[in-house]
Amino acid sequence: MALKVVAVDKAEDLNVILGQAHHIKSVEDIHVALAGSGPRLRFGLAFCEASGPCLVRRSGNDEGLVELATANAIAIGAGHCFVVFLREGDPVNVLNQIKQVPEVCRIYCATANPVQVVVAETDLGRGILGVIDGRRPAGTSERLLGALAVPKQQ
């Protein structure tokens, strides 16, 4: 077995969602979930088949994002993984819709941060072990309670 780290290639202003699904129909269903989330959302989606011809299926409404998702899916090369890039939208607005797609098994990350994917490679193929999402903490902040803060009784 070999371990590899694959950096997700993306612009700083793009959000990426990396996940795992279990069927070639995943691309169609994820596309429908994204397209139905709002008229302004621009997205590209790619999914690595894990059997048969083992192609990268792709879709989206922004050709540049489709190409970017495809290139990243090929670089990761793990069966059943999918890559979504978003523009003019945030993962928080689509994540629940994607999770509700019956074929979706797992979401590894949904972020605008730099991402590295830890991949294991064996004779059978590749699998995602996890992701590195952003940088290490630099310290701590004050404890934030925001609107949940209860004033002390006098």
- Tens of pLDDT, residue by residue over 76-109, are 999 999 999 999 988 989 999 999 999 999 999 9
Are 84 and 78 in contact, with CB atoms under 8 Å apart?
no
Residue range 104-119, pLDDT digits in tens:
999 999 999 999 999 9
How do the domains of the chain map onto residue ranges?
A: 12-112
Class of domain 12-112: alpha beta
**pTM assigned to the model:** 0.89
CA atoms within 13 A on the CB side of 3: 6
Q: Which is nearest to 85 in space by CA: 24, 26, 10?
A: 10
Amino acid at 131: V
Residues of the chain with pLDDT under 50: none
Task: Show the tokens assigned to 79.
Answer: 């069966």
How many C-beta neighbours within 10 Å does residue 152 have?
5
Sheet containing 115-121, strands listed edge to edge, beginning at the edge strand earlier in sequence: 2-7, 115-121, 126-133
